[in-house]
Amino acid sequence: MKFSQMPYKRVEKESAVKAYEEFIKQMKEAKSGEEAYAVHKKKDDFEGDINSDITLAEIRHGIDTTDEFYEKENDYYDEFLPELSSLQDKYNRALYDSPYRDYLVSKIGYVAFKNLELGFKSFDDKIVPLLQEENALTSRYSKLIANAKIQYKGEEYNLSGIFKYTHSKDREVRKESWKSVNDYFNSVTEEIDEIYDKLVKNRTKQAKELGYKNYVELGYYRMQRNNYDKNQVETFRSQVKKAFVPFVGKIEKDIADRLGLDKLTLYDLGMYFKEGNPSLICDDEQVLLAGRKMYEELSPETGEFMDFMTDNELFDIKARKTKEQGGYMTFIPRYKSPFIFGSFTGTFDDVGLITHECGHAFQGYLKRNVEVSEHASLTMETAEIHSMSMEYFTYKWMDLFFGKDEDRYKKTHFEDSCIFVPYGCMVDEFQHIVYEKPEMTPAERKAVWKELEKEYRPCIDQSELDFFENGGYWQRQSHIFSSPFYYIDYVLASVCAMQFKVLMDKDYKDAWKKYLVVCEEAGLKYFTEILEDAGLLSPFKDGTIEKLVEELGKKL
């Protein structure tokens, strides 16, 4: 079914409530495991159907935010979705409490049942008012950042508008525009401090009401950390400090040499070549055509996937004025179709849409025929392996996008991915400290960040930018506000994707086979079990990062 032909109808509240009440009743009355599982499958089909309509409305609203029909639908779901979660929670409890749980676990999976437990541990009706306040605070932060007014050379820009100056190949332009960003943050930092302070106190209160010592434990449940704890994450971060930080130091020295500088400053980050970063040689249409050729050559599975995506118009990636910002991959269960949303910018980021988001979509495509949706429901650290590894698997075809600049692109991508690893760990460690000591003042939080920068980002000079020099950088990292403890997922996935890079350079076909294992097992097994089956080392195991750095060092 082509995307444009997929019919949409609003999910009516009354009928949804009735349906869930009926499923709950049937689950409780089931006389055998088989009967209970049949009820669950019916519920799963029903949910797939309503999720399809909700997703269609979401995508179409994003494609044109001025479309009145879908704007209304969007407002309707904003209000209805929290009620829907409460219905789902009630159903989940009936499922979990079924006397036939053992049989249900054997059909639906142990990962799904573990996730149910984590869901129960992180929710109770009594924290609803706090959750609503939390939502309002995160929206306040997003709104503030989205409406940033940065004054630069007599013009006003928001953060995405100023990007072309902060990443200009002219160093003076970069420096001056970064100073404008610095001044902007100085002007709003008090408000951001206030928002964050309230968020930390709110989340701490939620944790206490649910009986936890602080928000760290609750945050882990909420992120569905079903397979590792904060001590393991700490082991990972300390390996990064020991082995990865010095490695990135070497990379940054290399970049500084290329740029003709003694050391990199904050405004040099993101610049990889003196003559500017590599640029695309193709327009929107050609990027898609190149993508099709690339996936057809990569493997039979990816070729079939790309035909499916193209034939059914499952991309919306052209930039339009009234389109929502950002890029993502989603899934429409009724048509078993992944969908990719984004806006081409004419820069090398467009290749990310065709590699990273297609990695997510390819995995969704491979698992589109699962018996129940739980078999395809994944946690983020695993999902990001699918996408980040695809960025490396597609290296071979970068000439299609960059022509003679392909090597420069690959270098940029590789170095950028490496520089991200310590940064991501810093974001994570910062949040652990913040939620372990919720009584800290805003100034103390900034001092914590400043100290962490000495450990994780020792080679970057920020002395000309006082806001950043004084430990303010985290205030522009939206995940810290909206999704606590999320960030480490990217880092864990990234070091797994890098292991794939090492493997594919030795034996591409074998690495691809292992990648398919990670795609297939996602949702069915735990993160570390999947890694083991795919022959990857666990990032939590001491020595993994040291070994990885040794291999990556050979590629510099």
Identity of the residue, 184 or 365, whose beta carbon is nearer to Zn ion in the bound complex: 365
In whole angstroms, how close is the CB of 360 to Zn ion at the nearest point? 6
Segment 393-397 long-range contacts (CB within 8 Å, at least 24 positions apart): 393/298, 393/500, 393/504, 393/511, 393/512, 393/515, 394/294, 394/298, 394/354, 394/355, 396/298, 397/290, 397/293, 397/294, 397/297, 397/298
Q: Is 206 in the site for Zn ion (CB under 5 A)?
A: no
Identity of the residue, 249 or 352, whose beta carbon is nearer to Zn ion in the bound complex: 352
In whole angstroms, how close is the CB of 359 to Zn ion at the nearest point? 8
Q: Which two tokens stand for residue 151?
A: 């004054």
Window contacting Zn ion (CB under 5 A); options: 10-18, 48-56, 386-394, 480-488? 386-394
Query: How many CA atoms are closer than 13 Å to the CA of 495, on its beta-carbon side?
Result: 28
In whole angstroms, how close is the CB of 70 to Zn ion at the nearest point? 25
Closest C-alpha to 334, from 9, 27, 69, 83: 9
In whole angstroms, how close is the CB of 255 to Zn ion at the nearest point? 25
Q: Which two tokens stand for residue 425?
A: 């760990």
Q: Which two tokens stand for residue 262?
A: 């003694």
Identity of the residue, 316 or 453, whose beta carbon is nearer to Zn ion in the bound complex: 316
Identity of the residue, 166 or 387, whose beta carbon is nearer to Zn ion in the bound complex: 387
The torsion defined by the Cα of 120, 124, 129 and 130, in degrees rounded to 10, comes to -60
Q: Which residues pair with 151 in a beta bridge?
A: 156
Window contacting Zn ion (CB under 5 A); options: 202-210, 382-390, 404-412, 427-435? 382-390
Identity of the residue, 377 or 387, whose beta carbon is nearer to Zn ion in the bound complex: 387
In whole angstroms, how close is the CB of 392 to Zn ion at the nearest point? 14
Q: Which two tokens stand for residue 143?
A: 């709104």
In whole angstroms, how close is the CB of 380 to Zn ion at the nearest point? 8
The span from the CA of 139 to the CA of 120, in Å, is 25
The span from the CA of 438 to the CA of 197, in Å, is 8
In whole angstroms, how close is the CB of 374 to Zn ion at the nearest point? 21
Window contacting Zn ion (CB under 5 A); options: 125-133, 135-143, 384-392, 400-408? 384-392
SS3 state at 198? helix
Window contacting Zn ion (CB under 5 A); options: 47-55, 191-199, 339-347, 385-393? 385-393
Q: Is 387 in the site for Zn ion (CB under 5 A)?
A: yes
Window contacting Zn ion (CB under 5 A); options: 153-161, 191-199, 204-212, 379-387? 379-387
In whole angstroms, how close is the CB of 179 to Zn ion at the nearest point? 32
- The footprint of Zn ion on residues 128-167 (CB under 5 A) is none
In whole angstroms, how close is the CB of 533 to Zn ion at the nearest point? 22
By Cβ distance, which residue is nearest to Zn ion? 387
338: left (phi over 0), alpha (psi -120 to 50) or beta: beta
* Per-position x/- string for 322-341, each x denoting binding to Zn ion as judged by CB under 5 A, each - no binding: --------------------
Are 411 and 234 a contacting pair, CB within 8 Å? no
HEC string of 453-488 equals: HHHHCCCEECCCCHHHHCCCHHHHCHHHHHCCCCCH
Identity of the residue, 387 or 412, whose beta carbon is nearer to Zn ion in the bound complex: 387
Identity of the residue, 98 or 330, whose beta carbon is nearer to Zn ion in the bound complex: 330
- 163 residue type, one letter: F
Q: Which spans of this chain sit near Zn ion (rule: CB under 5 A)?
A: 387
